[in-house]
Amino acid sequence: MRMTVRSTIVAGALAVAIVLPGASFAAPATTSTAMPAVTATLTVPSKTATKTVTVTKKVPLRPTYDLDWTLPTAGKSGCNVCHGDENLVRIQNGKMVSLYVDTAVLQNSAHKNVPCTSCHVDFAYKTPHDAIVKKGDEWRAIAKLSCKNCHKDAFTLYTSGAHSPAGRPGDTSSTVGAADSSAPGKLRPLCGDCHGGHGIPSKEDTAGKEAVHASAVAMCGGCHAKYSGEYMDYYHGRAYQAGASDAPACWQCHETHQVLPAADRKSLVNRNNLPETCGTCHAGEIDDAFLDFGVLVHNARQIYDQNPLYAAVNSARTAFQSMIDSVKSLFAE
Amino acid sequence: MIGLTQLNVWIDVVFSTLYVVIVVALSGHFFGNILTGRAKRRFVGWEWPAHEGGPIPALPKFLHFQHVAAMIALGISGMYIRFPFFNGGRAFMQWVHYIAMIVVIVNLIVRLWYAFGSRRRDYREFVISKRDLTTAPKVILYYIFVKPSKPHLGKYNIMQKGTYVLFVPLLIIQAITGLMLWRLMLPFTDVSLQQLVAGLIGASGVWWVRTAHYLVNWLFIVLTTIHVYLSVTEDLPAFLDFFGLSFLDRPHAEHGAHGDVHGDEHAHDGPAFGTESTPSVPVAEQV
């Protein structure tokens, strides 16, 4: 008798554990606190005989999202039940923020076989999300840095460069930027700030890689606006800004992960390393005069402005434009 | 000494400014044509200089036509290579540049043969004589509307001869410097002409070559712009004839009715296209 009671209790517990997720799946997300009845039929072996027991239990639904059944999960199907919905939004700081994740983008990315929780590690085993999200943007930072779990070499280089979250030796500020830096006051970028999130192209995705190549000025210029704006020399910058795929993106000269200040002896754009850096494209074309010519890469505008004839012509053009504007304003009045 | 970087900037600034000045000046010149009545006589009254000599043979016309097309392609593709002004297309433009370069070089060789080695040997039409030099001021005065007509010494005046003759060395310089910059690998090798040149004169030497190539390119652009303007405004029928768009009416196959003044200083160096000189008839003041 005692055994039968014990078996019944065990069976009931198992039934709840097994059937409950299915019940949640069947039920739409709701804010209702109703307690639907859950019935499970289970065959339970005992020492004497095999018995079939039926368990009925009322289970309270959570007041917000019923996602418990989805997590932990090894795939994306669980998360995408909600995040695959274009209408999934959240009000954050008075603004409506979309929580939609485009499944097609994800499936075309390099990480199409990577579970969501491999990057969003803090979401694994933790639902509902409110407790995580209410902490602020920490979950974003965690996701943006989660690349290190797989891409260890790149992460090692990254942390030894100027973009390292820990800063450079002797740097005690929380941002990259001293006022005289190229990105004053900017937070150090995490992996995801440059590489993006769900749509990171695979090595086979030529179009995606070209899109990343084309985004360099926008990507790096987000912090280094001065340098990206000055990238306007004859053969590199102008071509790049015009969309030429054979023109170098920022990282082709400045390195991708181990980005270092030009003054650093290890920097690719350190004067001592320029022959090798430029030589990757200009093999056999490098000497001192060539390198001097390279000063145009980021300083073309400045050098033009210093040209007296250019300055005079520009002044004349400005004066002429002012005159035209004055005449126009007369007619406008 | 000015550095390569500064020199390039100076060339950019000087020639782009100069080009704007030239376009404005040519517009002003055309306005002068209107004010002096030259434009009305030519474009409304269709009074153009009479053309002496026989029709221009097909070969120089053909060469000229090809040359024009190739030079336009070279100019646009060359400027694009230096100043990429639209999305992508650099590899395509380099190919355009290479092909047009070959066309121009072949044309130049054939034209030089035509001028010096063929039966016609028309180089004599381009030789600048002493009288050309002495009458040059009067030609200039004509073009700036001080004189109503210019002295006539042959098929081309001193300005034309000077320009056309200058084109030859400029083309040769451009061909040589262009070949020195050629990045295509030589057949059956993994080396380009540019790399060979870099081995001889160094990488910075190649950049000086590139700068020279760019400078001469601007000279072509400037001279060709003036050439096209004067061809159209001074002798539109000949311009059209050169492109096969019309045929010159040559009522005066012999010299003398070309519309230019024959003064005492006038005498022909030699017949154009084998025509004989005849006493000239001064043409009335055109203004």
Mean pLDDT on A124-131: 64
Rounded mean pLDDT of chain A? 75
pLDDT of residue A295: 84
Work out the pLDDT band at A34, boundaries 50, 70, 90. very low
pLDDT of residue B27: 97
Q: Is B14 on the interface with A (CB under 8 A)?
A: yes
User: pLDDT over 70 for what percent of chain A?
Assistant: 68
Q: Which of A295, A310, A314, A320 to mutate to test the interface with B (most CBs of B within 10 A)?
A: A310
Q: Which of B1, B2, B4 to mutate to test the interface with A (most CBs of A within 10 A)?
A: B4
DSSP A281-318: TSTT---HHHHHHTTHHHHHHHHHHH-HHHHHHHHHHH
More confident residue, B66 or A104: B66
pLDDT in tens, A178-194: 555 667 777 788 888 88
Work out the pLDDT band at A241, boundaries 50, 70, 90. confident
- Whether the pLDDT of residue B276 is over 50: the answer is no
pLDDT of residue A66: 43
Residue A310 with chain B: CB contacts under 8 Å: 9, 13
pLDDT in tens, B138-193: 999 999 999 888 887 778 888 899 999 999 999 999 999 999 999 888 888 888 89
* Cα A253 to Cα A262: distance, rounded to the nearest angstrom: 11
Q: Is B211 on the interface with A (CB under 8 A)?
A: no
- Which one of B82, B91, B204 has the shortest CB-CB distance to A289? B204
Closest chain A C-alpha to B193 CA, distance in angstroms: 12
Mean pLDDT on A139-149: 86
More confident residue, A138 or A61: A138
**Nearest alpha-carbon partner for B58 in B102, B118, B117:** B118
More confident residue, B275 or B200: B200
- Whether the pLDDT of residue A112 is over 90: the answer is no
Contact A307 B83 (CB under 8 A): no
Rg of chain B (C-alpha set): 22
Residue B90 with chain A: CB contacts under 8 Å: 239, 244, 246-247
- Whether the pLDDT of residue B275 is over 50: the answer is no
Those residues whose C-beta lies under 8 Å from the C-beta of residue A36, and which sit 6 or more positions away, are A23, A27, A58, A59, A61
Residue B10 with chain A: CB contacts under 8 Å: 307, 309
pLDDT of residue A288: 76
* Cα B89 to Cα B94: distance, rounded to the nearest angstrom: 9
Element at A95 (helix H, strand E): strand A95-98
pLDDT of residue A6: 65
pLDDT of residue B73: 96
Work out the pLDDT band at A22, boundaries 50, 70, 90. very low
pLDDT of residue B281: 36
Of A308-322, B84-98, B240-254, the one with minimum mean pLDDT is B240-254
pLDDT of residue A96: 87
Contact A284 B198 (CB under 8 A): yes
Q: Which of B182, B192, B197, B206 to mutate to test the interface with A (most CBs of A within 10 A)?
A: B206
Residue A309 with chain B: CB contacts under 8 Å: 10, 13-14, 17
Dihedral over alpha carbons A193, A199, A202, A204 (to 10 degrees): -130
pLDDT of residue A232: 84
Work out the pLDDT band at A225, boundaries 50, 70, 90. confident
- Whether the pLDDT of residue B233 is over 50: the answer is yes
Contact B13 A244 (CB under 8 A): no
pLDDT of residue B265: 43
Tokens of A258: 């181990």
Phi (first) and psi of residue A43, to 5 degrees: -95, 120
Helices in chain A by DSSP H: which ranges? 2-26, 77-83, 103-107, 116-119, 130-133, 138-145, 152-159, 191-195, 206-214, 216-221, 225-230, 237-241, 250-254, 274-279, 288-293, 296-306, 308-332
Inter-axis angle of helices B130-143 and B158-180, nearest 10: 100
More confident residue, A204 or B37: B37
- Whether the pLDDT of residue B50 is over 60: the answer is yes
pLDDT of residue B278: 35
pLDDT of residue B110: 95
Contact A245 B9 (CB under 8 A): no
More confident residue, A69 or A194: A194
Of A249-258, A263-272, B124-133, B245-254, the one with minimum mean pLDDT is B245-254
* Cα B172 to Cα B163: distance, rounded to the nearest angstrom: 15
pLDDT of residue B114: 93
* Cα A23 to Cα A34: distance, rounded to the nearest angstrom: 13
Work out the pLDDT band at B264, boundaries 50, 70, 90. very low
Those residues whose C-beta lies under 8 Å from the C-beta of residue B242, and which sit 6 or more positions away, are B56, B61, B64, B65
More confident residue, A167 or B132: B132
Mean pLDDT on A248-263: 90
* Cα A311 to Cα A304: distance, rounded to the nearest angstrom: 8
- Whether the pLDDT of residue B29 is over 90: the answer is yes
Work out the pLDDT band at B226, boundaries 50, 70, 90. very high
Of A202-206, A320-324, B238-242, the one with minimum mean pLDDT is A202-206
In terms of C-beta distances under 8 Å and separation of at least 24 residues, what long-range contacts does B272-276 make, across chains too?
A: B272/B52, B272/B53, B272/B125, B272/B154, B272/B155, B273/B53, B273/B54, B273/B120, B273/B122, B273/B125, B273/B155, B274/B53, B274/B54, B275/B52, B275/B53, B275/B54
More confident residue, A18 or A328: A328
More confident residue, A281 or B30: B30
Q: What is the pTM of this model?
A: 0.71
Mean pLDDT on A271-292: 82
pLDDT of residue A233: 86
Tell me if ipTM is over 0.90.
Answer: no
Tokens of A303: 């050098």
Neighbours of A270 (CB within 10 A): 15
Taking one residue from A and the other from B, the number of pairs with CB-CB distance under 8 angstroms is 79
Closest chain A C-alpha to B77 CA, distance in angstroms: 13
Mean pLDDT on B102-124: 93
Residue A313 with chain B: CB contacts under 8 Å: 13, 17
Contact A309 B3 (CB under 8 A): no
- Which one of B3, B90, B203 has the shortest CB-CB distance to A285? B203
Closest chain A C-alpha to B13 CA, distance in angstroms: 6
Q: Is B84 on the interface with A (CB under 8 A)?
A: yes
| Dihedral of alpha carbons B125, B130, B134, B136, sign | positive
Mean pLDDT on A21-35: 39
Closest chain B C-alpha to A300 CA, distance in angstroms: 9
Work out the pLDDT band at B243, boundaries 50, 70, 90. confident
Q: Which residue has the tokens 């200009």?
A: A282
Those residues whose C-beta lies under 8 Å from the C-beta of residue A282, and which sit 6 or more positions away, are A290, B203
Mean pLDDT on A279-302: 82
Please give the DSSP secondary-structure letter assigned to residue B56. P
Closest chain B C-alpha to A286 CA, distance in angstroms: 6
